[in-house]
Amino acid sequence: MVTLAGLLFLGLSIASGRRKRAREIVVSIGEAVIEPTELVDIVEAEAAKWVSINERSPEAAPLLEKYWRASGRAPNDDHWSGAFIVWAANAANPHSLVEYPQHSAYAFAHLNGRPGYRTIRPSGDLRAGDIVLKPRPGDVRTFDELTRPDFAPFPSHGDIVTEVHPDRIVAIGGNKAGDRVAAQTYRRRPDGTVPEFFAVLRLEDSRAS
């Protein structure tokens, strides 16, 4: 006899299987490309916790503490988008991203031999799980600034790509508009690039989950 509990379990199993297969399949041009990565699952789940709260909500305190602790810092009032990226990247792949809560600082470290992620110039080849860096509003930054011998960390923002489409990408980051973890859609040029991005960090193949 098929019980209600059995039907519920079967339904959840089918839904889980479909979601897993969606992550494993790279579909044809013209459709979304969703690549397998535990990091995407982690940031999507984290964003769901922030839908009805912001950084001033009591429920946000333990989440912010978790991000800052992952960066080796005590919770503070600084911009926390970098701390979020460090936490998420290392939750998916331990010790893969240097524990600097400034985006430009960890990008510089991984451009100069730090193992785990590689810092690369932006191109039309964007993938789920990439960390994408952009200037803060009103600012202009370039990849070449990361290569300067007199490099000094500068303010910027980073997101993690969760969906790749022919005309756009979706990425999730912390300290977004509304002071929360949230997704943002970026439009792509005909060559596939995104004009806002000045650097991309990609997990080395041997470390990918």
User: Lowest-pLDDT range, 7-11, 41-45, 97-101, 145-149?
Assistant: 7-11
Which residue type sits at 110? H
Query: Does a structural domain hold residue 62?
Result: yes
pLDDT of residue 22: 38
In a domain, 137, yes or no: yes
Handedness of CA 157, 158, 163, 164 (dihedral sign): positive
**Residue 116: burial class (beta carbons within 10 Å; 0-12, 13-18, 19+):** buried
For position 78, what pLDDT does the model report? 86
Please choose, from the candidates 156, 159, 160, 175, the residue with its C-alpha nearest in 3D space to the C-alpha of residue 105. Answer: 156
Residues 103, 82 contacting (CB under 8 angstroms) = yes
Q: If you average pLDDT over residues 159-165, what whole number do you get?
A: 97
CB count within 10 Å of CB 135 equals: 17
18 class by beta-carbon count within 10 Å (0-12 exposed, 13-18 middle, 19+ buried): exposed
Establish if 2 belongs to a structural domain.
Answer: no
Give Cα 66 distance to the centre of its chain. Answer: 16
Q: What is the per-residue pLDDT across 174-185, written as a single tens digit (0 to 9) for each?
A: 999 999 999 999
User: Could you report the per-residue pLDDT of 138-151, keeping only the tens digit for each?
Assistant: 999 999 999 999 99
Residue 147, pLDDT score: 97
Measured distance CA(169)–CA(189) in Å, rounded: 11
Question: What pLDDT is stored for residue 36 in this prediction?
Answer: 45
- Joined together, the tokens standing for residue 188 give 């792509």
Categorize the per-residue pLDDT at 77 as very low, low, confident or very high, splitting at 50, 70 and 90.
confident
Confirm whether 22 is domain-assigned: no
**Listed residue (73, 81, 126) closest to 103, CA to CA:** 81
pLDDT category, 131, cuts 50, 70, 90?
A: very high
How confident is the prediction for the chain on average, in pLDDT? 85
Q: What is the DSSP letter of 99?
A: S
Nearest partner of 88 among 70, 72, 104, judged by Cα: 70
Provide the percentage of residues in the chain whose pLDDT is more than 70.
81
CATH number at residue 91: 3.90.1720
Quick check: 11 pLDDT over 80? no
Q: Is residue 106 over pLDDT 50?
A: yes
Instruction: Supply the pLDDT for residue 2.
Output: 39
**Is residue 82, in this structure, part of any structural domain at all?**
yes
> Nearest-5° angle of CA 101, CA 105, CA 111?
130
Within a domain: residue 7? Answer: no
pLDDT at 114: 96
Q: Residue 126's domain spans which residues? A: 32-207
26 occurs within a structural domain: no
| Chain segment 42-74, per-residue pLDDT in tens | 999 999 999 999 999 999 999 999 999 999 998
Q: State yes or no: pLDDT of 207 exceeds 80.
A: no
Task: Please count the structural domains in the chain.
Answer: 1
Own/partner contacts of 72-75, CB < 8 Å, gap of 24 or more, are 72/99, 73/101
Q: Do the domain assignments include residue 1?
A: no
Residue 128 to residue 60: CA distance in whole angstroms: 26
Distance CA 182, CA 184 (A): 7
Give me 99's structure tokens: 């524990």
